[in-house]
C-alpha cells in the first residue's frame, strides 16, 4: 500500500528510525507544510529534545567548541573571540586612548585632535594638580565668565615663564582682588603688544607715552576736564597740563590745588589758578643765591642781575663812637634801629638819645648798622644819611649842609663849612638826640 495512505496515528512510536530511511529520502519541504503550519508533518513538538545531534547534521568544516554553524551550512571559527581585551600600560587611574593599532593606558592624557568638547555645565575634577602642556590654551565663550578659578580661601591663577621664572598672578584673597608677580620681577601693562606702564620691583610706577618711548601720565574725566603729564622727548620739556574746557572754565574753576594735612581735614597750601596767578598759604623759601628772576622784562645796558635774591626785615642797636680814640664813658637812654633789605638795597632808621659822655677824640660816627655799605670806585658813591633831629651835634653841623655818609657798618658825621669844604663833626654837645635814616647798597 502506498505511504501516502499511512497516517501518523497508524505508525507506532519508534517504528520509523533514521536507520530505516535513506539519506535525503524525506526532504525539508515534506517535513513542514507551508500551506498549513498547524498540520506540519514534523514540528518542534514532535521532535524530542536532543533527538537530532551535531553528528546527524551534514555541514562543511569541523564542529568544535570554538566553531559555530554559519548560514551557508559551514562550521567556522569567529574572528572576535568575544573575550575581555587587554591593553598596554594597564594600571589604575589610567585613561584609555586608541592609537589605531591598539589600546593604551595613559598616565597623562595627551589629546592631539582638533577639539575636545565638554558638555554644558561640565567639569574636570582632579584630586591634586591638573596640568595642560602645549603651545596655547584657547577658551571661547558666548557670554559671561570664560575662565574662572574657585576655591574656599585665597584663589590664584598663575602664568609662569619657566625659562627665567617670570610670572603673573591673578589672586583673590581677604584683602581684595590682586594682580601681581610672585617673584622680584616688574609688573607690566600694555596695549597693542607694547608696554605702556610698569611697576618695577621696588614699587616705583613708570608710564610710557602712547606713541613714543617717553614717559607720560594722564588722568581725565572727559574731553573737557583732565590732567596730563608728559615726560619730554628729545629736547622737549616735561609738561604738566591742567585743563578745563567746558562752560565753567576760568577762575575759580580748573585750578590746581595742593593740600597738606590728613585726608579728612586737608588744608590748602598752594593754588595755581587758571588766570595764571599763584596763591600760597605759606612763605616762598628760596635757596641761597636764588630768587625771583625778572629776565623776561626789558633791562638797561649796564644791568648786572635781574634776580631778586634777598629780602629781610629786622632791628639793630645803634650807638655813637669817636673815630680816633674811643670814649671813656658813654650813657644812652635810647638805642632804636630798624631796617629793610630788598635785594642789595638797605633802608635803615635810627633813633639815639645820649645822656652823657666823656673822653675819646676824633670824628663822631654812628655804629651798629646791620650790613656793611658798598664803597669804592665802582660803588657809584656812598650811602646817604638824613637827619630829622641832630641836637647832639654842634651848632655848625646843625646849621650847615649835611654831608654825612656810610662806610662799612657806620655812618660818619660830616658837614660843609662856610667855605663849602667837607669837614668831619668833631664837636658834640654833652647830651642830645640823633634820629634819621640811611639808604645804601651792599
pLDDT tens column, 109-163? 655 556 666 666 666 666 566 666 666 666 666 655 567 777 778 888 888 888 8
Residue in the block written with cell 590654551: 137
Task: Return the C-alpha cell found at 431.
Answer: 647830651
Q: pTM of the predicted model, to two decimals?
A: 0.52
Please report the sign of the dihedral spanned by the C-alpha atoms of residue 29, residue 33, residue 37, residue 38. negative
Q: 29 phi and psi, to 5 degrees? A: -65, -30
pLDDT at 200: 82
Residues 194-224: tens digit of each pLDDT: 887 888 888 877 766 545 555 566 666 666 6
Compare 241 and 442 and report the one with higher pLDDT.
Answer: 442
Backbone phi and psi for residue 363, each to the nearest 5 degrees, phi listed first: -70, 150
Residue 178 has pLDDT above 60, yes or no: yes
Other beta carbons within 10 angstroms of residue 216's beta carbon come to 20
pLDDT digits (tens, 9 = 90+) for 359-376: 999 999 999 999 999 987
Query: What are the C-alpha distances in Å from 322 to residues 7, 202, 337, 367, 404?
Result: 183, 69, 19, 10, 14
Per the structure block, which three cell numbers stand in for 47? 521532535
First to last CA, the chain: 172
Q: Give me 356's grid cell.
A: 652823657
Which of 155, 125, 120, 156 lies closest to 141, judged by CA? 120
**Weakest-pLDDT range from 114-118, 187-191, 253-257, 422-426:** 114-118
Distance CA 30, CA 41 (A): 7
Provide the β-strand partners of residue 155: 172
pLDDT tens digits, one per residue of 21-64: 666 666 666 655 555 555 555 666 666 776 677 777 778 888 88
Check the CA dihedral 75-80-82-85 and report its sign: positive
Where in 174-323 does DSSP place strands (E)?
Answer: 176-180, 187-191, 194-199, 205-207, 216-222, 225-230, 239-244, 256-260, 267-272, 278-280, 292-293, 307-308, 311-315, 319-322
d(CA 41, CA 330) in angstroms, rounded, equals 173
Helix or strand holding residue 31 (H, E): helix 28-31
Instruction: Tell me how crowded residue 154 is: count the other CB atoms within 10 A of its CB.
Output: 11
Is cis: bond before 252, omega within 30 of 0?
yes
**Where is pLDDT greater, at 253 or 334?**
334
Neighbouring residues of 23: CB distance < 8 A, sequence distance ≥ 6: none
Positive or negative: CA dihedral 69, 75, 79, 84: positive
Residue 396 DSSP SS3? helix
β-strand pairing of 103-106 with 384-389: unpaired
Radius of gyration of the chain (CA): 60
In sequence order, the 6+-apart residues with CB closer than 8 A to the CB of 71 are none
Nearest CA to 280 among 270, 267, 266? Answer: 270
d(CA 350, CA 335) in angstroms, rounded, equals 8
**Which regions of 127-224 does DSSP assign to beta strands (E)?**
155-161, 166-173, 176-180, 187-191, 194-199, 205-207, 216-222
* % of the chain beyond a pLDDT of 70: 65
Closest to 315 in 3D by CA, of 348, 342, 354: 348
| Top-confidence residue, 392 or 251 | 392
Top pLDDT among 415 and 298 is at 415
Which 8-state DSSP code applies to residue 108? Answer: S
Amino acid at each position: 500500500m502506498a505511504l501516502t495512505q499511512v497516517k501518523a496515528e497508524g505508525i507506532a512510536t519508534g517504528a520509523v528510525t533514521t536507520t530505516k530511511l535513506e539519506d535525503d529520502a524525506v526532504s525539508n519541504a515534506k517535513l513542514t507544510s507551508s500551506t498549513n503550519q498547524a498540520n506540519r508533518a514534523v514540528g518542534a513538538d514532535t521532535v524530542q529534545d536532543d533527538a537530532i545531534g551535531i553528528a546527524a547534521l551534514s555541514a562543511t568544516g569541523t564542529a568544535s567548541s570554538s566553531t559555530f554553524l554559519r548560514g551557508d551550512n559551514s562550521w567556522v571559527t569567529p574572528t572576535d573571540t568575544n573575550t575581555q581585551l587587554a591593553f598596554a600600560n594597564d594600571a589604575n587611574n589610567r585613561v584609555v586612548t586608541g592609537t589605531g593599532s591598539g589600546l593604551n593606558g595613559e598616565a597623562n592624557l595627551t589629546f592631539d585632535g582638533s577639539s575636545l568638547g565638554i558638555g554644558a555645565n561640565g567639569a574636570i575634577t582632579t584630586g591634586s594638580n591638573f596640568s595642560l602642556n602645549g603651545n596655547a590654551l584657547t577658551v571661547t565663550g558666548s557670554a559671561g565668565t570664560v575662565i574662572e578659578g574657585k576655591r574656599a580661601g585665597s584663589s590664584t591663577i598663575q602664568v609662569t615663564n619657566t625659562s627665567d621664572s617670570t610670572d603673573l598672578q591673578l589672586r583673590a584673597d581677604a584683602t581684595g582682588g590682586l594682580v601681581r608677580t610672585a617673584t622680584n620681577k616688574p609688573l607690566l601693562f600694555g596695549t597693542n603688544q607694547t608696554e605702556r606702564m610698569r611697576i618695577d620691583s621696588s614699587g616705583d610706577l613708570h608710564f610710557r607715552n602712547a606713541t613714543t618711548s617717553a614717559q607720560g601720565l594722564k588722568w581725565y574725566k572727559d574731553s573737557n576736564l583732565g590732567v596730563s603729564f608728559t615726560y619730554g622727548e628729545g629736547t622737549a620739556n616735561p609738561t604738566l597740563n591742567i585743563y578745563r574746557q567746558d562752560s565753567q572754565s576760568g577762575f575759580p574753576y580748573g585750578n590746581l590745588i595742593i593740600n597738606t594735612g590728613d585726608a579728612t581735614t586737608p588744608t590748602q597750601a598752594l593754588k595755581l589758578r587758571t588766570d595764571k596767578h599763584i596763591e600760597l598759604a605759606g612763605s616762598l623759601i628760596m635757596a641761597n643765591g636764588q630768587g625771583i628772576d625778572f629776565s623776561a622784562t626789558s633791562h638797561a645796558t649796564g644791568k648786572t642781575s635781574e634776580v631778586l635774591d634777598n629780602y629781610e626785615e629786622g632791628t639793630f642797636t645803634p650807638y655813637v663812637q669817636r673815630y680816633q680814640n674811643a670814649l671813656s664813658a658813654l650813657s644812652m637812654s635810647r638805642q632804636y634801629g630798624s631796617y629793610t633789605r630788598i635785594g642789595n638795597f638797605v633802608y635803615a632808621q635810627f633813633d639815639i638819645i645820649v645822656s652823657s659822655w666823656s673822653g675819646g677824640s676824633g670824628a663822631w660816627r654812628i655804629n651798629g648798622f646791620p650790613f656793611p655799605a658798598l664803597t669804592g670806585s665802582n660803588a657809584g658813591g656812598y650811602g646817604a644819611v638824613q637827619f630829622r633831629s641832630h641836637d647832639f651835634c654842634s651848632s655848625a653841623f646843625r646849621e650847615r649842609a649835611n654831608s654825612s655818609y656810610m662806610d662799612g657798618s657806620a655812618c660818619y658825621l660830616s658837614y660843609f663849612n662856610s667855605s663849602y669844604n667837607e669837614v668831619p663833626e668833631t664837636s658834640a654837645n654833652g647830651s642830645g638826640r640823633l634820629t634819621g635814616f640811611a639808604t645804601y647798597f651792599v
